[in-house]
Amino acid sequence: MGENELPFPFEFEELQPEEDELIKTAFGSAMYANYIRLGPKGYMVFKPYKKEAANIYNMPLRPTDVFVASYQRSGTTWVQELVWLIANDLNYEEAAEKPLTQRYPFLDLFMSFDENSKEEYIDTIAKTEENFNTEKFSQLLAYLVTPVTPFLAAVPLTTKRFIKTHLPMSLLPPKLLDTAKMVYVARDPRDVAVSSYHHAKWMKTTNFQGNFKEFWNLFHRALFSLTPYFEHVKEAWEKRGDPNMLFLVYEDLSKDLPASIRRVADFFGKQLNEEQMNRLCDHLSFESFKNNKSVNYEHLRELGILEKSESMIRKGKTGGWRDYFDDEMAQQAEQWIEDNLRDTDLRFPHMKH
Ligand code: A3P
């Protein structure tokens, strides 16, 4: 531990055997069920997180750093592209040339993959993919399991760093907002659950076997990656008044994109004229996003790791959860939301509270 480093303050705790069992049944194999709980809120992280937790907690920050943070499937990609374009004076050429994944190192990606599960991944994927190139996959896996903190530390000081994360604020450097900026995006958890369910089916390495009901059960009972969901959102919400924090909501972007764009532009001290606004709205529309190779992750298809019927930029709708929840689940969700909003002034603008 370096001289100025803080000790990592949280404990890791093994899951209860029943919890482990429930997860392993739904995921059909051990590789995506490798969880451990972290800290007083009990965040679910994958075991590889353990070795990197202190490095992330202590990562050196710069005043030019920009974090785009969220619970997964809340519109992160959308907000990443919006933030990057605003902060880089609408440099569409570079945005088209450089995939979003290169523009934004993803802080916690490494934890969702495990090198020890390589054979299991290969067996799972090879079952559905005739010409699966295991060599290419092995290279990809070696890249995916590597934490990005050393890479971020080596970025020249003259280069602005943009960082994607799904980690809650309490796992990030405690004084992050004293130095860096963060844009956080939240979304109706019912749509997050549906979107996460499809995401789990999209990535073959996840090997999710269950139906939506099973997925929802894991998600709302805080048995899925980086849940409990509401703790995650509340941590960012509590910081919404900080001048270095911008708290956005997916449903707001969806309802009135120009208004959210203006908030982002104000946050970065930029102004957009009407023509620039129109072009940006067009660029960020669901239709153009779906066809934008720089943001849609479709390049991963050639590796054979994606399910053909699923996609990263999927439906882009609010309230799509209604097609997935039966009455019992809808009531349960409503109660769960109400219970979790009781001790906070966090409100989702589209919900009737
Ligand atoms: P759905 O699965 O409901 O369609 P993330 O980037 O955090 O993984 O979030 C993904 C969700 O954001 C997906 O939701 C995706 O379709 C949606 N999304 C991505 N780009 C969008 C856009 N330009 N407009 C609306 N929704 C978008």
- Please, which pLDDT band fits residue 128 given cuts at 50, 70 and 90? confident
Confidence (pLDDT) at 304: 87
Ligand 1 pocket test: pick from 77, 197, 255 the residue with the most ligand atoms within 8 Å of its Cβ: 77
Q: What is the mean pLDDT of residues 307-312?
A: 92
Alpha-carbon Rg for the chain, nearest whole angstrom, is: 20
C-alpha closest to that of 323 among 217, 186, 198: 198
Cα–ligand 1 centroid distance for 291 (angstroms): 13
* Mean pLDDT of all residues in 302-306: 89
CB 145 within 8 A of CB 47: no
Name residues contacting ligand 1 (CB within 6 A): 70, 72-78, 191, 195, 198, 284, 286, 289, 313-316, 320
Task: Give the alpha-carbon dihedral of 17, 12, 24, 72, to 10 degrees.
Answer: 140
Task: Report CA(9)–ligand 1 centroid distance (Å).
Answer: 34
252 Cα–ligand 1 center, Å: 13
In a mutational test of the pocket of ligand 1, which residue from 67, 70, 74, 78 has the highest number of ligand atoms less than 8 Å from its CB? Answer: 78
By percentage, how much of the chain surpasses pLDDT 90? 84
Per residue in 164-213, pLDDT (tens digit) is 999 999 999 999 999 999 999 999 999 999 999 999 999 888 888 889 99
Candidate ranges 62-71, 110-119, 294-303; pick with highest mean pLDDT: 62-71
Sketch the domain layout of the chain as residue ranges. Answer: 60-341
How many angstroms separate the Cα of 291 from the Cα of each of 199, 285, 297?
Answer: 18, 10, 10
The atom number, within ligand 1, closest to the CA of 78 reads 20
ipTM: 0.99
Q: Whose CA is nearest to atom 25 of ligand 1?
A: 316
Model confidence at 52: pLDDT above 80? yes
Which helix (H) or strand (E) covers residue 70, if one does?
A: strand 66-70
pLDDT at 353 over 70: no
What is the value of pTM for the model shown? 0.97
Residues counted in the chain? 353
Higher pLDDT, 298 or 39: 39
Closest-lying ligand 1 atom to the alpha carbon of residue 72 = 7
Closest C-alpha residue for ligand 1 atom 2: 195
pLDDT over threshold 90, residue 31: no
**pLDDT band at 234, cuts 50/70/90?**
very high
Domain 60-341 sits in CATH at 3.40.50.300
CB 207 within 8 A of CB 199: no
Going by C-alpha positions, the residue among 99, 57, 56 that lies closest to residue 80 is: 99
Residue 300: pLDDT band by 50, 70, 90 thresholds?
A: confident
Contact yes or no for 137/203 (Cβ under 8 A) = no
**What are the start-end ranges of the H helices in the chain?**
17-27, 53-57, 76-87, 92-97, 100-103, 118-128, 134-144, 149-153, 176-179, 189-202, 212-220, 229-237, 250-255, 257-267, 274-284, 286-290, 327-341
Contact criterion met (CB below 8 Å) for 205 and 113: yes
Has residue 142 got a pLDDT over 70? yes
Give 73 Cα–ligand 1 centroid separation in angstroms.
7
Where does the pLDDT of residue 30 fall: very low under 50, low under 70, confident under 90, or very high at 90 and above? low
Angle between helices 118-128 and 134-144 in degrees, nearest 10 = 130
Burial of 272 (0-12, 13-18, 19+ CB in 10 A): middle
Lowest-pLDDT range of 125-129, 221-225, 245-249: 125-129
